[in-house]
Structure 1
Amino acid sequence: MKYTSLLSSFIATTSIATTLTAQSITGIVFEDLNNNRLFDTDEPVIPNVSVSNGIDVVQTNAVGQYTLAITDDTDAIFVIKPSGFMTPVSDKNFPEFYYIHRPEGSPDGLKYDGVAPTGPAPKSLNFPLYKQDEPANYKMLIFGDPQVRDYKRMTYFRHDFIEPLIGTEASFGVALGDLAADALDIYKHYKDSISQLGIPFYSIPGNHDINFNVSSDKHSMETWLAAFGPNYYSFNWGNVHYIVLDDVQYKGIQNKKGYSGHIDQKQREFIKNDLKYVPKDMLIVPLMHIPLVNINKESRLALFDLIKDYPNTFSASAHRHFQRHDFFDSQSGWAEAASPEHHHLVASTSSGTWWGGQYDAYGTPLATQRDGSPNAYNLMTISNNAYKLRTISARRPESEQLSIYLPREIKQADLATAIATINIFGGSTKNITYARVINQSDFTLATPTKTIDPYHLENVQRHKDGHYPKDNSLSLETPSDHFATINLPANLTPGIYTLHVKTTDMFDQTDEAYFLFNVIE
C-alpha cells in the first residue's frame, strides 16, 4: 500500500469564496497518480464517492464533482473513503480526508491549541484518493482508552501496545477515545508512538479528549479538530462501513465539567444521509467511546432505528475500563428488522485501571482492568461482511485467554466447598466452558457466573494496605459476566492434581488453561 505524507492543508483549493454564510462549495474527487495532492487535468476523476458537510451527504457525479452547502456551523467537509481507495495520511499515519472550516480559528482562551484561522471557505475543494489493494478479508486493531496523562505513562503504552505490534498484519487501527487524560498536549507523543506501527490509524473522541474550559459542547472539540480532524465521520474498508461517532455531550465548565452519553441530531442526520449510499449487504460498524448501554435511551434507540434494516451490524466502544459483550434484542430496544440481535463490544482498555498497580520487572504497572483481566487490545478479523474478535493481553502470549483462581493448597475436608473461578478475558455470556481434574473426572459444564475477579480483589487490598505507590492505585473492582465457576470433586485423596479448563466463545474459538493444586489431609 502507498500512503502520502502530511501537507498541512492537503486539499487543492481554488477560487476563494467571498461569504461564509449559506454558500455552496464544490470540488472534484480524483485519483492522485503523481502523489502531489493536486488535481491535474490528466488524472482520472472518481464518480459515486460520498462527500459530506457533517449533515448532508452527496455523491460525486460522472465527472467526479460534488456540491455541498457550507455555513457558519459547518466544522468540516470530508470525503468518505470508498472501498479500494485510500485517502492521504499524515507523516504519522493518521488519515487526512477532511477540510476543517474555522474562518476565524478556534475561540480565544483555550488551554490547549485549537484550530488556526482557516480564512474564507474555499469555493472549490478537491479530494485526492489512491488506489490500494483492499481484500475482503483483513484484520484491524482496536485500542480502548490509552488515557496517557504524561510522558511516563506514554512509555507504558509504547511498551505494552506499540513495540509488540510493530510489523502487525492488521490493515489499520482505531482508538475508541480517551487518547489523552485531559492533558491534550500529549497528542504529539501519542501520534509519534502510533506512527511506528506503519498503518493508518483512525481516532474517536472520548470524555478525556475535551477542551474543558468552554461553556458548552459546541467548542469542546477544538483541540481534537486541530489534531485529528472531524469528531464524527465514516469510511469504508472492504465490505464494511465504519461510522465514527462522538457520543460525549459536554455540559460546560459551569456545570462542574460534566458530560453525558448522547448522539446529537446532527450526527443522526449524517448517519441517515450517509447510509443512503451504503449497500444492504455491507457490515455496518458504529464506533464510539461511551457504550450503548450508558448513553441515553433515546440516542440508543435512534441509532438502532437508523441501522435496523442492515442484516449485518456490530458496534464497539470503550470507556468502562473492563471488557464486556452486550447483546441487544427486542426486549432491549433492537428492532429485529433484519437480524435478531445487535452485538456491542465494550472493548478492553490499554490503560487498564488508569496504568495502576504493582510494577513489573521492566517498570511497567500491571494495569489490570476493573474486571480483573489484563490490559489488552482487541483484534477484529473481517471475512467479507462477517467478523470475529480476539482479546490479546499486554505482556502475554495470545494463547493466554483465561485465569483460574483456586487455593494452591486445599484441605481434604474442604473439597466439598472448593470452587474454581475462571476469568475468560474476552468471554461473554455465550461462552461454553468445561473443566475436569485430569485422570480424576470427566469434563463437566461450568456455571456461567457474574462475579468479581478474586485476584483483582486481592491486588486492590494490597494497594489499600500500602504495598503500591500512591499514584499507582488499583481500584473500582467490578462484577463481570465473563466468568464461570465449577466445584472440585469431593473424593480426591491427598496429592497433586491438574485442573483442565476449556472454553469456546461465540466465534467458535476454543481456549484452554491448566492449574495445579495440592490436596492435603
Structure 2
Amino acid sequence: MKPTPFCLLFTLLAAPPVMADMPSCGSGHVFDDANGNGARDAGEDGIAGVKVSDGMRIVETDSTGRYAGLGGDAARTVFLVKPAGYAPASRADGLPDFWRNPPAGAGHSLRYGGMAASSCRDFALRRTPPRKAGIEVLVFADPQPKSMVDVDYYRRDIVEPIAGTHGAQLGMSLGDIVNDDLSLYPAMNRITAGLGVPWLHLPGNHDLDFDASRDEDSLLSFRNLYGPDTFAWEEPELVFIGLDDVIHLPGQKPAYTGGLREDQFAFLEAYLRDAPRDRLLVVAAHIPFFDTSKVPGRPSFRVADRERLFALLRDFPRVLLLTGHDHTQRHVRHGAVDGWHGAEPLHEYNVGAACGAFWSGVKDDAGIPDATMSDGTPNGYATLHVQPGGAYALSWHPARHRERADFTKAVALHAPAVLRQGAYPAWAVYANVFMGQQDQRVEYRIDGGAWKPMTKASRADPRMLAENVADDAVDALRGFDRSPEATPSLHLWRGTLPTDLAIGAHRIEVRAFDAWRGEQRASTQYRLQAAAP
C-alpha cells in the first residue's frame, strides 16, 4: 500500500539518526542565558519546547532543554528555530549564534576552504525585553561586490548612511552576498554587522563553491560563515523562512537553476505543519519564484518545485514572498497559472539590488558609481514593517538619497526641457514609480490645473536611455563599467505635455498613490518656445 504523506513525515521525524557513529552536533541543550554571556552558568535553566533542526528533521527540547536525534548525516548544520520573545547570543563576528556546523567540517579541498571544523556547544537564548508592537526589517538584495573596491562602495553607499539611525530590529540579505569571490565574505560581514541588529543571510548563485562536484557541497564555504542555507526564525509579528533556491548544475550552462531539494521539502513539511498562523509568514529566497527565463521550455524556477511549495503555503492566511537576483524591481501577484490556489493572490516582492547595476555607471563627487538599474530604479535597500496580526508595509530606499524635486525617494521624473509652442503634442513627462504596481494610481497636472491620469508605459525609462546615449557618444569609458542597457520598466507612467499654453516655463506635478506610504509627489518643468520654419 502506498504510504500517506503524514505517515512518511512521521517516519522521517521518528526514525533514528543514520550514520550515528560519525561526529555531529545532533544532541545538546538550549538554555536561558540570563546574564547574556553566551555560556551556561550555574542557575541558568534549560528551555523546553524549542525547535531544533538539521535542515531536514525537527525535534523539540524536553523539560530540561535537551534535544537529540539530529545530524545523523555528519555534513548537516544543526540550528534552532529562534522562538519569539528570545534572542540568540552573538558570535564573535557579530552574527546571531543559532547554528552549529559539523565538528569535522567538510570540503577542505575547495578553493575557498569549504566548512572548517567546529564545536558542538549548547545554544544560548536570552529573553528579550518588551518592545513596542510591530517590527521593522532591513532587506538587502545582491550587494554583490567583485573586489574590495566594491566592498567599500557597499560600506559608504548602503551601510554607513543608515548605521545608528535606522529603526530596524532585524536584517536579511537575499543572496549574492559577493560576486563569486568568496574571500570577500569576512569583509562584507564586518560591514553589515555595523548595523547592530541580528542579520540573516541567504545564498545566491554567485555565493557557490563552483568547484564543488555536486549541489550538496556547493554552499560549504557559505555555510562556514553564515550557517544553514535553509532555516526558520520566529518573531511575535512574523515568521521568516529562508530558503536556498539555487540548484548547482556542475558542468552545465547555465551552471544553476531555481528550485528546492528534497531535504528542504522535508524541513518545510515538518515545520509548517504547526507553524504559527496568527502572524505574517515571510518566505525569502534569492531566485524569483516567477519565471524570468527568455529560453522557451527552460523555466528559471522548476515548475514542480514552485507548485509543491505553494501547496504547502496555501492554508496560511498571510504570506509574503521576498526574492532578489534580477537587479530590477517589481511586484508579482501569483495566481492559479503559477500553481497558487489560495483565497487571495500571493504577493511576491522582487527586491532591487543594493549594488544596483553591479556598481556600474558614472561616479559622483564621492567616487561612488551611479549604479541605477536597467529599469530605472536607483540602487538601495528595502524595509519591511509588520504589525501584530500580519499587516505589512514595504518601502524602497534609494542609496544615499539626495532629495530633489524631480527625483524623490519614491518617484523619478523625466521631461523634455523645451518644446515648440503649437507643436503636435507627441512628447510626455515620464514618472518612474519605484514601488509601482500594476493597478497603481498615478496622476499629473500642469501649472496647478486639474489632475489627470497618467498611462502605464511599457518601455524603457528615458533617463536610462539618455545614459546609454551619453556612453555611446564618447570614445572613453565614463566609469569603470557603463550603465546597463535600458530595459522596459514595469513601473513607468506617461503623461502627454500640452503645447498650446503660453510661451515660457510650465510646472509639472506628479502624484503617485503608494499602497503603503500614501501620496508621493515629484515635480519638474518644461518650457515652450516660439519657432519659425
Same fold (TM over 0.5): yes
How far, CA to CA, are the matches of 2:311 and 2:218 in structure 1? 28
Structure with more of its chain in strand, by fraction: 1
What is the Cα deviation at residue 142 of structure 1? 0.6
Whether the 8 Å contact between 1:415 and 1:488 is mirrored in structure 2 is no
Residue 387 (structure 2) aligns with: 383
Provide Cα deviations, 1:325-365, integer angstroms capped at 9, x if missing partner.
Answer: 111122332111xx311110110111111000001111110
Q: Does 1:356 align with 2:356?
A: no
Whole-angstrom distance in 1 between the partners of 2:346 and 2:367: 41
1:445 to 427, 444, 453: 453
Contact 1:357–1:468 under 8 Å retained in 2: no
Matching of residue 486 in structure 1 with residue 495 in structure 2: yes
Cα offset, 1:405, TM superposition: 1.3
**Could you say if the C-alpha distance between residues 245 and 18 of structure 1 is closer, same or farther in structure 2, counting changes exceeding 3 Å?**
closer
The CA RMSD over aligned residues, in Å, is: 2.1
1:115 — aligned with what?
A: 115
Q: What residue is the counterpart of 1:26 in the other structure?
A: 27
Higher mean C-alpha deviation, range 501-510 or range 281-290: 501-510
The CA deviation at 1:311 is: 0.8
In the aligned structure 2, how far is the partner of 1:329 from the partner of 1:483?
23
CA distance in 1, matches of 2:361, 2:19: 57
Asked whether the equivalents of residues 53 and 74 of structure 1 are also in contact (C-alpha less than 8 Å), the reply is no
CA distance in 1, matches of 2:19, 2:217: 25
Q: Give percent identity, aligned residues only.
A: 28
- Residue-by-residue CA offset, 1:68-100 (whole Å, 9 max, x unaligned): 232226511110001110111223421120111
Rounded to whole Å, the distance in 1 between the matches of 2:109 and 2:465 is: 44
* C-alpha contact 1:462 1:468 (8 A) present in aligned 2: no
Equivalent position to 2:220, from 219, 222, 230: 222
Aligned equivalent of 2:318: 312
What is the deviation of 1:18? 10
1:266 is displaced (CA, Å) by: 1.1
| 1:349-398 alpha-carbon deviations (Å, 9 max, x no partner) | 11111000001111110001121111010011111111101111012157
SS in 1 for 2:240: strand
Q: Which residue of 2 aligns with 1:241?
A: 239
Letter of the structure 1 residue corresponding to residue 117 of structure 2: P
2-structure distance, mates of 1:74, 1:86:
26
The answer to whether structure 1 residue 94 and structure 2 residue 95 are counterparts is yes
CA displacement at 1:279 relative to structure 2: 2.0
**TM-score normalised by structure 2 residue count:** 0.88
Change (3 A) 1:263 1:136: farther
Decide whether aligned partners of structure 1 residues 83 and 162 sit closer, same or farther in structure 2, where only a CA change above 3 A counts: same
Provide the residue aligned with 1:500 in structure 2. 509
* Residues 330/81 of structure 1: CA separation in 2 closer, same or farther (3 Å cut): same
What is the match of residue 149 of structure 1?
A: 146
1:455 equivalenced with 2:460 (yes/no): no
Unaligned runs of 5+ in 1: 1-16
Partner Cα distance (1:65, 1:360) in 2: 56
Relative to 1, partners in 2 of residues 1:232 and 1:402: Cα closer, same or farther, differing over 3 Å?
A: same
Q: Which amino acid aligns with 1:297?
A: V
In 2, the alpha carbon distance for the partners of 1:514 and 1:470 equals: 29
Matched position secondary structure for 2:382: strand
Separation in structure 2 between the aligned mates of residue 360 and residue 434 of structure 1, nearest angstrom: 32
Q: Partner amino acid for 1:197?
A: L
Q: CA deviation at 1:24?
A: 9.3
Q: Say if 1:111 and 1:213, in contact at 8 Å, map to a contact too.
A: yes
Contact 2:362 / 2:479 at 8 angstroms: preserved in 1?
Answer: no
| Aligned residue in 1 for 2:4 | none
How many correspondences in the alignment?
Answer: 496
TM-score normalised according to structure 1 size: 0.90
Q: 1:437 to 1:470 in 2, by over 3 A?
A: closer
Q: How many angstroms does 1:469 deviate by? A: 4.4
**2:23, 2:189 → 1: CA distance?**
36
**How far did residue 256 of structure 1 move?**
5.0
Paired residue secondary structure (2:112): coil
CA contact (8 A) 2:509 2:521 kept: yes
After TM superposition, the structure 1 stretch with the greater mean CA deviation from structure 2, 495-504 or 415-424, is 415-424
Which amino acid letter does the alignment assign opposite residue 51 of structure 1?
A: V
Task: Select the residue among 269, 277, 280 that pairs with 1:283.
Answer: 280
